[in-house]
Amino acid sequence: MAFDSLLIANRGEIAARIIRTARALGLRTIAVHSSADSQAPHVRAADCAVLIGPPPVADSYLNIAAILDAARRTGAGAVHPGYGFLSENAEFAAACADAGLVFVGPPAAAIRQMGNKRQAKLLMQGAGVPTVPGYCGEAQDEASLLAALARIGRPVMVKAAAGGGGRGMRLVNPGDDAAALLRLARGEAMNAFGSDELILEQAVAGARHVEVQVFADRHGNCIHLGERDCSLQRRHQKVIEEAPSPAVTATLREAMGRAAVTAAKAVGYVGAGTVEFLLATNGEFYFLEMNTRLQVEHPVTELVTGLDLVAWQLAVAAGGALPLTQDQVRFTGHAIEARLYAEDPHAGFLPQAGRLALWRPANGVRVDAGVESGQEVSPYYDPLLAKLIAHGPSREVARRKLLRALSETAALGLPTNRRFLIDLLADQGFASGHVSTDYLGHRFAEAARPAPDPPTLALAAVLLYQASAGNDGWRSSMRAEAPLTLRQGEDRCQLHLCPLGEGRFAVDGVGLAILEKTADRVRFAHDGVQRQAAYVLFDGELHLSLDSADFVFAEEVARASAAAGRGDGRMLAPMAGKVVELRGQAGQPVRQGDIVIVMEAMKMQHEIRAKTDGAIERFAVAAGEQVQNRQLLAVLKQG
């Protein structure tokens, strides 16, 4: 290779994944990290690591000068940007070249051309690649955008021209306040990409999101490695990805692959890239954008092709030719990937920060993760914890393998979307392959909160009782009945627990036997049936994973005012993040549903709305302030 050391300008699971391949190829690996990530797994996996700044991304992972300085200090020969952060930043690619570093990615000119959705659409139209009807004009004032939106006809998709990943995207349906949605999109776009430029696209009903993996070298070779179906999205962010697409025939694959290669050649592309298409129900497809980097979902392509795309990236960056020609590419079986996020599906999928007290992924599938037990999930970064990817000879086998793997994975300490993913994979619509980009919004508008059954309540009571008693509570002279109040969220349940000896208990008539228990796993029997559960005691609470559902219990301690702080007009932060905007002022009346505060957490903006009619009594925070979960934001005078 033209270099023997590689700096990874990223964090989390993608940094760990790149390090694995680089080390296997004999390269010295260099990690960079913020002060929040000083003990992160990707930092310890690298041969050396450099602190580049405090937690905010602008001061660390987006700090080009600090990253280049880290490369200089460690003697790095090449830089891999991963995905997100600086991966599609033309200035960063150019700065690496100016510093004598090999940038593992396309030329800066290609990034610049494809990095702006408006310019990219115009370029693709010139190359003969079909594009979605809409507006990609230079006029960006609100009046021009509203006029264009009216001409296109609702529903219309608003997109940030300078980026992707769901940031700066809003769907404008009939009856929506288009001006307000445009402002929200502008705000997210500016915060995420430093540009508030927007484009508008006609929303294609019932369409699928299908993308094609392309690869090009510096010798004029360019091929595609098949397609991925990324239709299952929530808030325009992908949740489940698979290869191949259930909707793509061999003929359609050839046509889409040919269009993707044409798009890549039009910008003189080099390296790994993804051309994203919207596939209509009539089989027509339209160019959406080109991601000039490795995709989050690249593992499904690796599993169906048997190729290591990071190894290909490194070889091409070193000046090598593509290892295969188009007719040598082979596809085997089916692969499905699920993204496991730290988010609360029962509270509008709000991102979550805090301690991941227990992380125990399943065996039998590929797991790309950048977390471990005891790690703090920071509010400064994307809430992605891990990706689980299953491969099988058929789609159904891959689906079942992934379903089982998610059921056996333990991620406890903070809310995750694990049960949501399980429900999604078990859904008949997904199982049949008949989904579209709006499927989740219609089929899974709200995630149902699982309710614990009597054996689950009994197990929770026993584990909490054992933790406080230090033994099974058995006395030779008599049964020691222990009344306790079990709390789960706002719900409380009064139980009576009676130890029966030898690991046996009776909890309100439910007989339970603890057969085996370790620090994080318990095997128990109820009514002649043996079951297993994962658990962890953390911060005074029991986090329990049983039968694909996660619960949090605590033993309630009597309080003088159990309802203090509820129904008193206080508005609390639903997650850690930054206050972006305060709507109104003290004394101003508000109606139920009015937006009072806008927060930003984990790259997304969230609207905090009044729960009742009333008036703003006072704000307890200021715009721009970083706040913690459950921190007081404002007080409303109800009435």
Lowest-pLDDT range, 341-345, 402-406, 517-521, 591-595?
A: 591-595
pLDDT band at 477 (very low <50, low <70, confident <90, very high): very low
- The single-letter DSSP state of residue 321 is P
Q: What number is the average pLDDT over the span 414-439?
A: 94
Classified as helix, coil or strand, 64 is: helix
Confirm if 338 and 388 have CB atoms less than 8 A apart: yes
d(C-alpha 285, C-alpha 267), whole Å? 20
Query: Which pLDDT belongs to residue 612?
Result: 85
Within 10 A of 582 (CB to CB), how many other CB atoms are there?
Answer: 18
Confirm if 404 and 335 have CB atoms less than 8 A apart: no
Query: Which pLDDT belongs to residue 570?
Result: 82
Lowest-pLDDT range, 276-280, 477-481, 523-527?
A: 477-481
Question: Is 70 exceeded by the pLDDT of residue 603?
Answer: no
Confirm if 301 and 212 have CB atoms less than 8 A apart: no
Highest mean pLDDT among 167-171, 188-192, 387-391, 562-566: 387-391
Phi-psi region of 153 (alpha: psi -120 to 50; beta: other; left: phi over 0): left
Q: By C-alpha distance, which of 316, 329, 372 is closest to 107?
A: 316
Alpha helices (H) along 99-141: 108-115, 117-127
Through-space distance between the first and last CA atoms of the chain, rounded to whole angstroms:
71
d(C-alpha 218, C-alpha 545), whole Å? 50
Within 10 A of 202 (CB to CB), how many other CB atoms are there?
Answer: 17
Query: Which pLDDT belongs to residue 474?
Result: 43
* pLDDT tens digits for range 15-74: 999 999 999 999 999 999 999 999 999 999 999 999 999 999 999 999 999 999 999 999
d(C-alpha 39, C-alpha 33), whole Å? 9
Average pLDDT, the chain: 91
More confident residue, 560 or 208: 208
Confirm if 179 and 146 have CB atoms less than 8 A apart: yes
Distance of CA 132 to the CA centre of its chain: 26
Stretch (H or E) spanning 606: strand 604-609
* pLDDT tens digits for range 311-328: 999 999 999 999 999 999
Query: Which pLDDT belongs to residue 557?
Result: 54
d(C-alpha 182, C-alpha 84), whole Å? 23
Question: Is 80 exceeded by the pLDDT of residue 601?
Answer: no
Beta strands in 394-528 (DSSP E): 410-412, 482-488, 491-501, 504-507, 510-517, 521-526
Lowest-pLDDT range, 159-163, 196-200, 294-298?
A: 159-163
d(C-alpha 396, C-alpha 394), whole Å? 5
Question: Is 80 exceeded by the pLDDT of residue 238?
Answer: yes
Query: Which pLDDT belongs to residue 489?
Result: 83
Question: Is 50 exceeded by the pLDDT of residue 476?
Answer: no
pLDDT band at 364 (very low <50, low <70, confident <90, very high): very high
pLDDT cut 90: percent of the chain above it: 75
- For residue 433 the two structure tokens come to 């392959």
Q: For strand 156-160 and strand 170-172, is the pairing parallel, antiparallel, or unpaired?
A: antiparallel
User: Which residues on adjacent β-strands are paired with residue 532?
Assistant: 523
Query: Which pLDDT belongs to residue 627?
Result: 84
pLDDT band at 115 (very low <50, low <70, confident <90, very high): confident
User: Which residues on adjacent β-strands are paired with residue 31?
Assistant: 8, 49
Ordered structural domains, the chain, with CATH: 5-104 (3.40.50.20), 133-202 (3.30.1490.20), 206-332 (3.30.470.20), 341-449 (3.30.470.20), 454-555 (3.30.700), 570-638 (2.40.50.100)
* pLDDT tens digits for range 538-576: 888 999 999 899 999 998 753 333 333 345 688 888 777
Question: Is 90 exceeded by the pLDDT of residue 191?
Answer: no
Query: Which pLDDT belongs to residue 558?
Result: 38
DSSP string, 554-565: EEPPP-S-TTTT
Q: By C-alpha distance, which of 344, 265, 292, 266 is closest to 164?
A: 292
Lowest-pLDDT range, 319-323, 510-514, 626-630?
A: 626-630
Confirm if 368 and 13 have CB atoms less than 8 A apart: yes
- For residue 115 the two structure tokens come to 């990095």
Classified as helix, coil or strand, 22 is: helix
Q: What number is the average pLDDT over the span 484-491?
A: 87
Query: Which pLDDT belongs to residue 578?
Result: 87
Lowest-pLDDT range, 97-101, 283-287, 465-469?
A: 465-469
Predicted TM-score (pTM) of this structure: 0.85
CA distance to 193, 195, 348, 636, per residue, from 189 (Å): 6, 6, 21, 30
Q: What number is the average pLDDT over the span 242-260?
A: 97
d(C-alpha 322, C-alpha 444), whole Å? 42
Question: Is 60 exceeded by the pLDDT of residue 478?
Answer: no
- The single-letter DSSP state of residue 182 is H
